[in-house]
Amino acid sequence: MDQGRPFQYDEQRLVCDGVDIAGLADSFGTPLYVYSAKQISERAGLFQNAFAGTPHTVCYAVKANSSLAILKMLAAQGCGFDIVSGGELARVLKAGGPEVASRVVFSGVGKIAGEMDAALAADILQFNVESEPELELLASRAAALGKKARIALRVNPDVSAETHPYISTGLSAHKFGIGIQLARAVYARAAQFPSIETTGVSVHIGSQIRQVEPFAEALEKTLNLVRELRADGHNIRNVDAGGGLGIEYGDKSFDAAQQVQKYAAALQSALGDMDVHLLLEPGRFLVGQAGALVTRVLYRKANGDKKFTIVDAAMNDLIRPALYQAHHEIVPVVRDEAVATEEADIVGPVCESGDFFARSRALQQTEQGDLIAILDAGAYGLSLSSNYNTRVRPAEVLIEDGKARLIRRRETYDELFAPEIF
């Protein structure tokens, strides 16, 4: 692991910002999510510093990791938020207070009336509208509440991003946004609603994109549209460039600061001297490498030549390997160079063949009761988790200033059963 990561070895024991991981597992149990507050804050700072010369707001993509403690920390650092549901709106208001609403953008293709009403009442910065029927509903809800909804249309620039097909969003074949060639007509229609104010244009082409060129291409197309819209009389002030800047899972040489600088340079070159307020929506980049899932070995077994290491975490705790065929580096919590390496599948106890974290992975041979850590798990870990097989979700611990703080306790069965009627 490189020196820029929070998870390192200290005398063969894995630590997070100096805090012993094995001790955390003993104190809080496993499976356990552990996060570095320091790295999350530093990653947000990379964006804020790289764009310091450009009017901008960093709107953290809440879906990546919606922990209230993390949201509160980012709000205190001046970040805004990109939300995709009424529940995420409630989360950011709970974490940051009503004043944070002025830094909230509401994205998503399926907003419902109640969610719109809550966002209008909170007076959020902007709705990123993704279809004409949504525009009509928002206009009617704003009129009924005596409010004015500030909107951007999310345009689809038909730009290809080299990423997993499930997280690519910028092509005409995807469900997201409005075709950029149709946008001027939809803006003209939006301007006819007294309850709508057209304030921005939004674009987002996907997630886990590791080259900066697609971002620049999408922004250039978006800025050409902004020029046309301003000529049509629309007071376009905000350009939402979306998020999606990727990380390198398991790449020890990954330089986050350099990647953000490249990203900023590409967007700023596209912007030129154009007078707009830039909205940025990083998610995974801020939290992905700040987190790890710590799990304990339950059993070892072999089916012929095939070896399995069965751990107490499962696909309901971290579904990325099953859903996206995602690679996560997996390391022993206590390293012993005298112990041989073996190749095994790292699997969980859920009754699905897809319940695995790695296939045929070379790892220090483990014994029952040993701890291993699944790294780079801070994004789309707990936020995508479930209670499948009636499993309680993991606890979460945040490392701040060299101390561990429990930010989410492990669920209980009574809490799982509470909504049910029988």
Known binding residues for substrate are 284, 320, 324, 352, 380
Measured between alpha carbons, how far is 348 from 359 in angstroms, rounded to an integer? 12
> Who's near 276: CB < 8 A, 6+ residues apart?
55, 223, 226, 236, 237, 238, 239
> Residues comprising the binding site?
244, 281-284, 320, 324, 352, 380
Is 79 annotated in the active site? Answer: no
Q: Identify whether the C-beta of residue 159 lies closer than 8 Å to the C-beta of residue 206.
A: no
Catalytic-role residue among 16, 59, 79, 351: 351
Number of CB atoms found within 10 A of residue 4's CB: 15
Number of CB atoms found within 10 A of residue 418's CB: 8
Measured between alpha carbons, how far is 53 from 82 in angstroms, rounded to an integer? 22
H or E element: which one contains 143?
A: helix 132-144
H or E element: which one contains 248?
A: none
Measured between alpha carbons, how far is 346 from 369 in angstroms, rounded to an integer? 14
CA dihedral 334, 339, 344, 347 (to 10 degrees): -20
Burial class, 105, CB count within 10 angstroms (exposed 0-12 / middle 13-18 / buried 19+): buried
Tokens 């953290």 -> residue: 60
Measured between alpha carbons, how far is 171 from 309 in angstroms, rounded to an integer? 40
Tokens 């570095």 -> residue: 36
Measured between alpha carbons, how far is 15 from 75 in angstroms, rounded to an integer? 27
Cα 384 versus chain centre, distance? 10
In 3-state terms, what secondary structure has residue 412? Answer: coil
> Residues comprising the binding site for pyridoxal 5'-phosphate?
244, 281-284, 380
Terminus-to-terminus CA distance in the chain, angstroms? Answer: 50
Tokens 């699905």 -> residue: 352
- Give catalytic residues, as residue numbers: 351
